[in-house]
A = this chain, B = another copy of it.
Amino acid sequence: MLKAYVDLISQPSRALYIFLKFTQIPHTIQHVALRKGEHNKAEFLKINPFHTVPAIDDGGFLLSESVPILQYLCNKHNIHSLYPKDLQQRAKIEAFTHWQHLNLRYGGSILFVALFSQPASGKMPIDEKSVQLGVKVLKASLERIEQIYLKETPFLSSDSLSIADLLGVCEVLQVHVGLGMDVLTHYPKVAKWVELVRESVGASIFDDAHSFILKAGEKVRKMEVSVPKL
């Protein structure tokens, strides 16, 4: 049976987790606690020498990187609703998944490391230059989503949910829920889209996936880290 290696603190891990619960592909979840360094242990490196989550072991076929994992599983299990066979629709979904890395994901990750991971591991003071860069990249990314991706459709690439939406929303909520940094008020289409994705996969699956990062967010508030406004 498919084994999915995840840490729910990780945005793409949550996207895979939600995907598996939503599609009901038979699987087992293997938790890899990044905070305990489990991704660096020899046992996990046999699964993924890149040390990253998510990763899968599908009957001996090992694969890392969230997007190819989602695409592979959609292809294998004929889940064309989330990853259509039509070449143009497919390409539009893929375009978002590649764009996000050095935009939405980059901006959010800089902020999460600077305002959560580093303070949580005792590293202070907070690197203000990183925070400024993170805010700049994140704002530009949210503007692009608001003004281009969601210009004419309720989901990123079309009128229906795709793997791009699962990945994108998990990135947005990393800062919104994880850092308690309001990234939705100024972006009404983004806010509506996040809620629509939550409803589409089912609120219970969605909220379950985000319960761990919600706790992390409470930790940030206890540390009294000053979180910037967008």
Cβ-neighbour of A87 out of B64, B75, B90, B148 (below 8 A): B75
With a cutoff of 8 Å between Cβ atoms, the chain B residues found around residue A148 in the complex are 49-50
Q: Chain A: how many interface residues by the 8 Å CB criterion?
A: 30
Residues from chain B with a CB closer than 8 A to the CB of A71 are 91, 94
Q: Give the residue of B50, B91, B101 whose beta carbon is less than 8 angstroms from that of A72.
A: B91
Q: How many copies of this chain sit in the oligomeric assembly?
A: 2
B-facing residues in A75-126 (Cβ within 8 Å): 75-76, 87-88, 90-92, 94-95, 97-99, 101-102, 105-106
Any chain B CB within 8 A of the CB of A41?
no
Question: 8 Å CB contacts to B: which residues of A26-41?
Answer: none
A residues with CB within 8 A of B: 49-50, 61, 63-69, 71-72, 75-76, 87-88, 90-92, 94-95, 97-99, 101-102, 105-106, 144, 148
